[in-house]
Chain A
Amino acid sequence: MNELEPGTVEEITGKYVHVDVNGTTQRIYYEEAGPEDGIPLLCQHTAGCNNQEWRHLLTDEEITDEYRVIAYDLPFHGKSVPPTGREWWEEDYTLTADRFAATIVAIADALELEDPIYMGSSMGGNVTLELADWHPDRFRALIGLECGAYSPGFYIDWLDDPHVNTTEVNAYACWGLMAKQSPEQTRRETMYLYEQGATGVFKGDLYYYSVDHDYREKLGDIDATECPLYVVNGEYDYLTTPEDGTEVADGVGDGCVAVEMADIGHFPMSENPVLFNAYLTEILADIADERDGKLPEVLTPDDVGVELNRTEARAVPKETEEAE
């Protein structure tokens, strides 16, 4: 990404909101950028990570001109410390579908968001199915990045083991989830963010991701005509492939659209933010009914005018552009 001029101050603000989740008060950290009256775009990070994955979206003025982008840390992640009212250290951290979905809705409620678009990747993508099933009236649209009906095989004991350097292993177990054509700088940054997770939290999230989330027999329960559902999976995501996304869309039916993102992987917003933000612009235009024609089955870098392996950020603050 481009280095910005020294003295550049980003427009992102960070705040804490206190949220009641199933009777427990959680102190939730979130960052936001964009107009207060913009369409809220609520962004969920991946398992074991935090809201910094969205930092490049939060500085993309083509999106924050119109959307109020809000990226939060789930409890136990990033700056959202564990709840003070519970002896949380006496039990393993384990995320369930019920708790995950309830937390997201509680955050939207606490921030009094009106008709927000929800977007999340990986476990944040999978949970769009629970949200679509249980809370379709709460959201304007749901964008499930790297979403599948079932994503087994990643609830791995070694990811929380006293004989293993989990800081490093939790990150680099994910290294291959990204496309090699994504810039090395942003892929390395994604792993760096992963290395900041607390012990046991990544594995606890993966309980939801690989065990508790299973919609293979329940896709028909979702009525996406109430709330449009976009299942948007990267070509290089070996956990939830574009084919898995198509199966979700076929199973849900009307109102659900599957789109493959070419040349990108499981962490699109942070592994290749230039390409992802351009892809996202197409999805957001579809939600706003501003596109000519349907979304294609596969979005490619050529479609969105992005040259692979470019290292520059698309979003350069206006002050910097003027200074040049």
Chain B
Amino acid sequence: MTEAELASHEWWEQYKETVNSDPEMQVRGHDRFDENFYVELGDERFLVAMDGGQVSEVIPNPGLNQEWSFGVEGDREAWEEFVREVPPAFNHEIVASNYRTQVKGESGHLELTGNNRQIFQNLRPFQRALDLMRHTHNNGGNL
């Protein structure tokens, strides 16, 4: 398991390395994944800038000079559950979490935001990028 705290600078550096060496992001056209997305943990927001299936940079507190297509929001506790090696039910994957939030109206889960067309056009590589947060956090593990 990585010693770095979730979403610390060191953690994001390890995440960047994990995504950029991930073979799955290179196959079936995922190397064309160019949509920037943000990850919001409580009050902290990070923009993950994607370029050809690679993370080009992670920008804390993005503002008017940046652009993104979609994002994921949740409190830090929900993200801590999401990145556990064996995450609990309903915080174990983004579509699962989003369903419990948006359809069932529950709190404590992650929620998708942004342009739904672009989310579905990029669903798999976006989802993979999120699952790789778990991979980063546990230095491997069952995605």
Q: How far is the CB of A213 from chain B (nearest CB, A)?
A: 15
B76 at the interface (CB under 8 A from A): no
Given A184-B143, A238-B99, A165 contacting B92 (CB threshold 8 A): no
A153 near B95: Cβ-Cβ < 8 Å: no
Please pick, from B89, B117, B124, the residue contacting A172 in the complex, using a CB distance under 8 A. B124
B94 near A176: Cβ-Cβ < 8 Å: yes
Please name all residues of chain B whose beta carbon is closer than 8 Å to the beta carbon of A163 when the two chains form the complex: 117, 121
B116 near A158: Cβ-Cβ < 8 Å: yes
Q: How far is the CB of B101 from chain A (nearest CB, A)?
A: 10
Please pick, from A152, A164, A165, A179, the residue contacting B103 in the complex, using a CB distance under 8 A. A152
Closest B residue to A182 by beta carbon equals B142
Taken residue by residue from 238 to 260, chain A's Cβ proximity to chain B (1 for < 8 Å, 0 otherwise) reads as: 11000000000000000000000
- What CA separation (Å) do A158 and B96 show in the bound complex? 17
- What CA separation (Å) do A184 and B134 show in the bound complex? 14
A153 near B99: Cβ-Cβ < 8 Å: yes
Please pick, from B89, B93, B121, the residue contacting A165 in the complex, using a CB distance under 8 A. B121
A175 at the interface (CB under 8 A from B): yes
Q: How far is the CB of B33 from chain A (nearest CB, A)?
A: 12
Please name all residues of chain A whose beta carbon is closer than 8 Å to the beta carbon of B102 when the two chains form the complex: 153
Please name all residues of chain A whose beta carbon is closer than 8 Å to the beta carbon of B1 when the two chains form the complex: none
Given A152-B103, A238-B100, A239-B99, A179 contacting B92 (CB threshold 8 A): yes
Taken residue by residue from 153 to 173, chain A's Cβ proximity to chain B (1 for < 8 Å, 0 otherwise) reads as: 100001001011100110011
B94 near A173: Cβ-Cβ < 8 Å: no
A153 near B103: Cβ-Cβ < 8 Å: yes
The size class of the interface chain A forms with chain B is 20 to 34
B127 at the interface (CB under 8 A from A): yes
Most buried by B among A163, A177, A180: A180
A181 at the interface (CB under 8 A from B): yes
A279 at the interface (CB under 8 A from B): no
Please name all residues of chain A whose beta carbon is closer than 8 Å to the beta carbon of B103 when the two chains form the complex: 152-153
B89 near A175: Cβ-Cβ < 8 Å: no
**Count the A-B residue pairs with Cβ separation under 8 angstroms: how many?**
59
Closest A residue to B103 by beta carbon equals A153
Please name all residues of chain B whose beta carbon is closer than 8 Å to the beta carbon of A180 when the two chains form the complex: 86-87, 92-93, 142-143
A175 near B93: Cβ-Cβ < 8 Å: yes
The size class of the interface chain B forms with chain A is 20 to 34
A158 near B120: Cβ-Cβ < 8 Å: yes
A31 at the interface (CB under 8 A from B): no
A173 near B123: Cβ-Cβ < 8 Å: yes
A164 near B99: Cβ-Cβ < 8 Å: no
Q: How far is the CB of A237 from chain B (nearest CB, A)?
A: 8
B92 near A173: Cβ-Cβ < 8 Å: no
A181 near B28: Cβ-Cβ < 8 Å: no
B89 near A236: Cβ-Cβ < 8 Å: yes
A225 at the interface (CB under 8 A from B): no
Q: How far is the CB of B22 from chain A (nearest CB, A)?
A: 14
- What CA separation (Å) do A175 and B98 show in the bound complex? 13
A238 near B96: Cβ-Cβ < 8 Å: yes
- What CA separation (Å) do A225 and B90 show in the bound complex? 34
A309 at the interface (CB under 8 A from B): yes
Please pick, from A168, A177, A236, A238, the residue contacting B124 in the complex, using a CB distance under 8 A. A168
* Chain A contacts to B: CB under 8 angstroms: 152-153, 158, 161, 163-165, 168-169, 172-173, 175-177, 179-181, 184, 235-236, 238-239, 309
8 example contacts (A-B, Cβ-Cβ < 8 A) are as follows A153-B103, A169-B120, A169-B123, A169-B124, A176-B94, A176-B96, A177-B96, A180-B143
The 6 closest A-B pairs by CB, nearest first: A176-B93, A176-B96, A153-B103, A158-B120, A238-B96, A176-B95
* Chain B contacts to A: CB under 8 angstroms: 28, 86-87, 89-90, 92-97, 99-100, 102-103, 116-117, 120-121, 123-124, 127, 142-143
